[in-house]
Amino acid sequence: MTHNLNFKTFTSSQLSFFAKELKEAGGFDELMITKKALERIDGRSLIITYQNAKDYREKYLKGKYRSLRPYFNTKVPYSFWSQLYIALRRNMCPSK
């Protein structure tokens, strides 16, 4: 899991940028493939794990996401990005 990560961790700028990336990629799974958090093999989606979280963090958490590096300490990047996706969805459709 990710260290001290909650939905208030993400800025509106990060959420907007993530929404743009999702749109350009064509969806969450497609973006996760681009970010090497998911791969498709024989028509199945498989979550990728990494032994070295630091390498992944430095390669994929840059630009708008750079400030999130301290929160990324997982071998499963999909779990990190899914929290960002959930935060985006909550921001788009806040409960009453």
- Given a cut of 50, the residues of the chain with pLDDT beneath it are 1, 96
Residue 92: predicted pLDDT = 77
Residue 66: predicted pLDDT = 96
Q: Record the pTM.
A: 0.86
Q: Check: CB of residue 18 under 8 Å from CB of residue 85.
A: yes
Residue type, position 83, single letter: Q
Residue type, position 7, single letter: F
- Cα(11)–Cα(39) distance, integer angstroms: 28
Residue 47: predicted pLDDT = 96
